[in-house]
Amino acid sequence: MERLNMASNEVALQEKSDKSTRLLPLDALRGLIMAFMALDHTNLFVAHKHSGGEHWGGDFPTYSSALPFLTRLVTHLCAPGFSFLMGAGIWLFAQSRRKMGWSRWAVTRHFLIRGALLIALQFLVENQAWKLSPGWQLDVYVGVLFALGGTMILGSLLVWLKPEILLVLTVVLTVGTELLVPNPVVWGQRNSPLDLLLLLSGGDAHLWSNYPLLPWLKFVTFGMLFGHWLLDDARKAFGRALRLGGALLLAFVVVRYLNGFGNVRPRVGDDWIAFLNVVKYPPSIAFSLLTMGVNLLLLGLFGQASESVAIPQSALKVQRFLQPLAVFGRAPLFFYVLHLFLYAGLGLWLAPNGASIAGMYPYWLLGLLILFPLTWWYGQWKQRQSPNSILRFL
């Protein structure tokens, strides 16, 4: 009996280790893009040189040198990556809770509550941080927490779909939402609340939207599809991520070179900066191919490294590289809310008149150093909560 118990414990520990190994690449990718997101917001709060936004109409940002553009470009990975990883998490959570005996309604209700909480945080907490940024004049801002919360609510209704249907839905959303974007010459004439909440970016001082729901939903449905692949065979899923990432980047080059459908608006210039400077609001096909191509390559590399190591010492080396990133990735909401007020405070205190782009980077690193132990502590506290507690997912 004692040997049977020992064997059972070993199996349980192995299953826990396998799950940890499988989720580590996702947490590490989330942590990496959260660090990039912090860079973007340091650019706003400290340097006062944040881009006005790569919108479907209106003035389009241009860059005369590489550093400001690359500082902006790397942050484009964030919103698609968050949405994709959230989609994967939705599917994995739904399957794990079904095995624990949750009904479909219980799973759906969980996501409805979490989605509503994210939307509330957008308007009650996040927007208070934006008011600390230079020149802020908006009454109501529809940002990324609104999009994540809204697409989580929609995703809770789609999580039970078969993989083939999720794939078709992802393609339909990708092409369909782009077809619905009007000609850029009518910028400023499509400001109805329904347009701004569901389809288009833009607005006025009373209501401004950067993250309407439907164009960002495709990343969530694709994430749920990847969740299917991940649970079926993690190693194959990460290998598929590498191949898909390369294919999407190749497709981006083709779409961008042709400079027609898929770009929303033509390139502004002929240099390499113009080639990579794509429409983000709402995400054009070119933007989606570029950002998800890079995200998938990173995820595939992280996954292949953690899945393929057979020697324990090699596994430890991989985990030593990924674990610091995963600290941020395991407490994303805590990090997100805290980092906004932290960088806003650093900007007001240490750089009230702004800073250069190069001079902004030390502030970014200082903020990450402050956030790391706080996020680690919060992540440890969160893991001690009951698996059924909503506190575990804040």
Residue 301 lies in a domain: yes
Buried (b) or exposed (e) across 353-370, using 16+ Cβ within 10 A? Answer: eebebeebbebbebbbee
Tokens matching residue 176: 């369909």
Tokens matching residue 336: 């997100």
Buried (b) or exposed (e) across 210-234, using 16+ Cβ within 10 A? Answer: bbbbbbbbbbbbbbbbbbbbbeeeb
Residue 9 lies in a domain: no
d(CA 209, CA 75): 19
Number of domains the chain is built from: 1
Residues of the chain with pLDDT under 70: 1-22, 307-318, 386-394
**What pLDDT does 313 receive?**
58
**What pLDDT does 385 receive?**
73
Tokens matching residue 326: 């995963």
d(CA 9, CA 195): 55
The alpha carbons of the chain give a radius of gyration, in whole angstroms, of: 21
- At residue 207, the 3 state secondary structure works out as strand
Residue 16 lies in a domain: no
Buried (b) or exposed (e) across 137-171, using 16+ Cβ within 10 A? Answer: eeeebbbbbbbbbbbbbbbbebbebeeeebeebbe
**What pLDDT does 8 receive?**
36
Residue 12 lies in a domain: no
**What pLDDT does 50 receive?**
87
Residue 289 lies in a domain: yes
pTM exceeds 0.75 for this model: yes
d(CA 376, CA 372): 6
Residue 48 lies in a domain: yes
Number of helices followed by number of strands (H, E) in the chain: 15, 3
Beta bridge partners of 140: 207
Laid out side by side, the sheet with 202-203 consists of 140-142, 207-209, 202-203
Spell out the SS3 assignment of 82-137.
Answer: HHHHHHHHHHHHHHHHHHCCCCHHHHHHHHHHHHHHHHHHHHHHHHHHHCCCCCCC
Residue 10 lies in a domain: no
What's the half-sphere exposure (Cβ side, CA atoms, 13 Å) at 2?
Answer: 0
Residue 294 Cα distances to 41, 282, 322, angstroms? 21, 19, 17
**Domain with 304 in it:** 23-393
Residue 221 lies in a domain: yes
Tokens matching residue 57: 């109409």
**What pLDDT does 392 receive?**
61
Which of 196, 59, 216, 80 has its CA nearest to residue 140?
196
